[in-house]
Amino acid sequence: MNLEGRKIIVNKSSSELAGMLKNPEDYKDLMPDGLQKFETSADGFKFGLKGMPEIALKIDNVSDKEVVLKSASSSLDFALTGTMNPLNESQTEVQLLFEGKFNPFIKMMVEKPLQNFINSLTDKIEQL
């Protein structure tokens, strides 16, 4: 299952964004409204949103071109990638891409909430 967020322009350089996205604590500011739980670890974070199960993510890779977050749970196989395309010294085009391997039943249950989550994250990132 693949989902895409809309492309947005962020008024920060790609290196500024990468620096911020290396720190698990900084992801709290990007979480959608309805955040009920947020815990950080050395290499990731766990969060809970109203009406959704808790999700644990591991910061797998951060560069000036992309950020890759992977599921920290062995029972769920997915990655959330943020691509970063520098436009100039102070603006970066960002797009979120979700790739997950789910059975058809799980896909049917999570597709809409995940797309809403990606859209909400995109809105928060756009405000940086």
pLDDT tens for each residue of 2-54: 999 999 999 999 999 999 999 999 999 999 888 999 999 999 999 998 877 88
Beta bridge mates, 56: 46
Report the CATH number that the domain containing residue 8 is assigned in CATH.
3.30.530.20
Number of domains the chain contains: 1
Contacts of 52 (CB under 8 A, 6+ apart): 113, 117
What domain range is 80 assigned to?
A: 2-127
Instruction: Report the distance separating Cα 104 and Cα 98, nearest Å.
Output: 16
pTM of the full structure: 0.93
Residues 40-97: tens digit of each pLDDT:
999 999 999 887 788 999 999 999 999 999 999 888 899 999 999 999 999 999 999 9
